[in-house]
Structure 1
Amino acid sequence: MIPLDIVNASNAQLRELGPGLVALFVGATSGIGEYTAKAFVKNSVSPKVYIVGRNASAADRIISECKTLNTDSNVEFLKGDVSELKEVDRICAEIKKKEAKLNLIVQTQGNLNLRGRDESPEGLDRKFTLNYYSRMRFITNLLPLLRTASTTTPHLSRSLSVLGPGNEQKINFDDLDLKNTFSGSRCAGHSIVMNDFMVEELASRETGTAFVHSSPFVVVSGAARELPLWARVAIKIATPVLRIFAVGEEETGARQLFLATSGLYPPAKSATGSATAAGTPVPKGLAVVKGMDGKVGSGGYTLNYDGEIAGKMNILDEYHNKGVGKIVWEHTMGMFEKAEKSEKAKPDVK
């Protein structure tokens, strides 16, 4: 585990990157996304921050609290239900109108409901979309802004998806989107493995940007709000015990921000001549870690909340040998194309 004082010292060095960093936090009106957004605002100079979620009143509170943390921060709320890709596209289009670059994308969207397959008009399960498809859609839509960030001072270009490396399961290659074999556990397993391999695939294609898939460990948040009443009551009763083992709000935000910005996890090819392109300086006594492909500093990383490499290597090694990265990439692009065609086929409503 990387000590918290090292994490905090590294995050404080974000100020040395200068003013005007631009960041997007999806799913940030509660929980891990909120905590990480606040950590970013606290440690940056005059940052521009977009937070995406469904709860406008929560967003108002967070914006006010961010202003207290950093009076020079500019935080804007973009309301949307990103369980549908058309909403992701709409939000991305809005950001592109306002920004030429994007230094950081942090995605934590998801829910803990116990419903079965809940299919959107796009033909995708909503939980699966939150955990995986919407995340990849935000990244691929906003790649031009990440590329610009990687080529302009301070050359910081990062993406963080917080879900669950280390909890990989065998996946069904005959039903990757779980159209016919959906269950909550299978959705989690597929989402985790596919996030794993997409950080590797993206890092190999976008060498100026670092891509991280991280685990949050145990965090007390509002993610259980869509569970049935009996489950919410049970969690409320258990919360005092959970807090004993859980990572606190401030520490969670600090650690996820560290994973998103530290030079321990650099892009595959940082901009030459820029000390900040790889992220904040590598802490003394530590070294750049191996990426998903087993190579040091390869740009795509699966990490535990404490900064160490995560992932069930027996499964990941087997899937590497099967070329699963390419399979997941092609499946994802195919599902995006299918969703686009479905949306275009709808009659105009005036």
Structure 2
Amino acid sequence: MVSLDLIHASNAQLRELGPGLVALFVGGTSGIGEYTLKAFVQNTISPRVYLIGRSAPAAERIIQECQILNKDGKVEFLPANVSELGEVDRVCKEIMKKESKINLLVQSQGNMAMSGRDESHEGIDKKMSLSYYSRMRFINNLLPLLTTASTTAPHFSRSLSILSAGWESTINLSDLELKKSFSLGKCADHTITMNSLMTTEFAKRNTGTSFVHSYPSSVNTGLSREMPFWARTLVKIATPLFKPFFVGNDETGARQLFLATSGIYPPLKTGMGFSAGMKRPKGMEVAMGTDGVVGSGGYLGNWTGAPAVRKQVLAKYMENGVSGVVWDHTMGIFERVEKVNAERIKKVEV
């Protein structure tokens, strides 16, 4: 485990990058996203932060609290229901009108719904969209801004998807979107494993940016409010019993920010102006990538700050080119949804 002292020292180095870092936090109106956002604001000079979520009251509270943490920081709320890729596209266009670069993209959107498959009008299960498809859409849409951040001073460009790195499992390659075989367990297996595989695919195509999938461990995020009554009751009873095992809010934010910025997780291309990230803690080396190659730009991070253990199933998938299969599937879903939304707009206009 990387000690909290080393974590805080690393995060404090963000100030050395100078003023005006730009960050986007999706799902940041509560829980882990909120804690990581506050850690970023606290450790930077005059940052510009975009907060995307559904709750305006929560966003207003967070903005006020961030003003206390850093009076020179600017946090702007952009409301959006990001379970829909059309909404992702809309908010990305809004951001691209405001900014030419993004230094840090952090995503933690999700829900604790326990029902069966629940498709949006786009034909995608909402839970799968939040944990996977919307995240990949944000990254894909904002690649030009991440690339600009990597090629202009201070040459710092990072993407962090917070879910469950290190918990990868077997997935159904003939039904990746689980149209025919959906269950909550399979949904978790698919979204976790595909998040991990895509770190490699994005990293090899965008060599100046680091792509990290992280595991935050047990954190009291308040997401149980979306569960059925019986499940909320069980969580309420169990929470005091498991509280000693929770990672604290401030610690969670600090550790996730470390995973998103440390030199342990550099982009594939470093040197010649490209930032490798904050200086690595003494005795820690550059991490092995998701593809099994040290420093390859796509990584799995554990809540401790150290790399997550790469499971054998993931190594086998990498060897067999499954990451490319997942890439092609994902781009295909994007094309399909674009057509669905274009037709929907056409009908409204008529």
* TM-score relative to the length of structure 2: 0.98
Instruction: Report the alpha carbon displacement of residue 271 of structure 1 after superposing the two structures with TM.
Output: 4.7
1:142-163 Cα offsets, whole Å, 9 max, x none, are: 0000000000111000000000
- CA offset at residue 289 of structure 1? 1.1
Aligned counterpart, 2:220:
220
AA aligned opposite 1:325: S
Equivalent residue, structure 2, for 1:162 = 162
Structure 2 equivalent of residue 136 of structure 1:
136
Listed as ranges, the matches of 1:29-48 within 5 Å are 29-48=29-48
Deviations 1:281-314 (A, max 9, x none): 1122211111111111110001111122224521
Secondary structure of 2:348's aligned partner: coil
Q: Which moved more, 1:122-131 or 1:240-249?
A: 240-249
Show the counterpart of 1:281.
279
Matching of residues 46-57 of structure 1 within 5 Å: 46-57=46-57
SS in 2 for 1:242: helix
1-structure distance, mates of 2:310, 2:203: 20
Q: Is the 8 A contact 2:300 2:310 kept in 1?
A: no
**Which residue number in structure 2 is paired with residue 308 of structure 1?**
306
> Compared with structure 1, are the counterparts of its residues 79 and 273 closer, same or farther at alpha carbon in structure 2 (3 Å cutoff)?
closer
The aligned residue for residue 319 of structure 1 is 317
Deviation at 1:236, TM superposition (A): 1.3
Residues 23 and 102, structure 1, Cα contact 8 Å, conserved in 2: yes
1:78 is paired with a residue of what secondary structure?
A: strand
Q: Per the alignment, in what secondary structure is the counterpart of residue 52 of structure 1?
A: strand
Does the CA-based 8 Å contact 1:199-1:301 persist in structure 2? Answer: yes
1:84–1:126 Cα contact (<8 Å) kept: yes
Whole-Å Cα distance in 2 between the matches of residues 166 and 267 of structure 1?
Answer: 20
Give the Cα–Cα distance (whole angstroms) in 1 for the partners of residues 10 and 249 of structure 2.
18
CA distance in 1, matches of 2:285, 2:256: 18
Separation in structure 2 between the aligned mates of residue 343 and residue 45 of structure 1, nearest angstrom:
40
1:124 & 1:222 partners in 2: Cα distance?
Answer: 25
- Cα deviation, 1:60-110, whole Å, max 9, x if unaligned, reads 000000000000000000001100000000000000000000000000000
- Which aligned pairs between 1:1-350 and structure 2 lie closer than 5 A? 1-273=1-273, 277-346=275-344, 347-349=346-348
- Work out the number of aligned pairs and report it: 348
**CA-CA distance at 1:46 after TM superposition:** 0.1
Q: For the residues of structure 1 that align with 2:309 and 2:273, how far apart are their CA atoms?
A: 33
Over 3 Å counting, the alpha-carbon distance change for 1:285 and 1:312 in structure 2 is: closer
> How far apart are the structure 2 equivalents of 1:177 and 1:153?
39
Kept after mapping to 2: 8 A contact 1:151/1:271 = no
C-alpha displacement of 1:210: 0.2
2: CA distance between counterparts of 1:215 and 1:270? Answer: 25
What is the percentage of aligned positions where both structures have the same residue? 60
Secondary structure, aligned partner of 2:76: strand
- Counterpart of 1:302 in 2: which secondary structure? strand
- 1:208 CA drift (Å): 0.2
Q: Which amino acid aligns with 1:39?
A: A
Q: Distance in 1 between matches of 2:180 and 2:96?
A: 36
- Counterpart CA distance in 2 for 1:40 and 1:310 is 22
Distance in 2, matches of 1:271 and 1:50, equals 29
Q: CA deviation at 1:349?
A: 2.3
Matching residue's letter, 1:193: T
3-state SS of paired residue (1:159): strand
CA shift, 1:251, in A, is 0.2
Within 2, Cα distance between the matches of 1:207 and 1:298? 9
328-337 or 311-320: bigger deviation: 311-320
Of 74-83 and 289-298, the range deviating more from structure 2: 289-298
Q: Is the 8 Å Cα contact of residues 213 and 303 (structure 1) preserved in structure 2?
A: yes
Distance 1:135 1:66, change over 3 A: same
Aligned-partner residue type, residue 109 of structure 1: Q
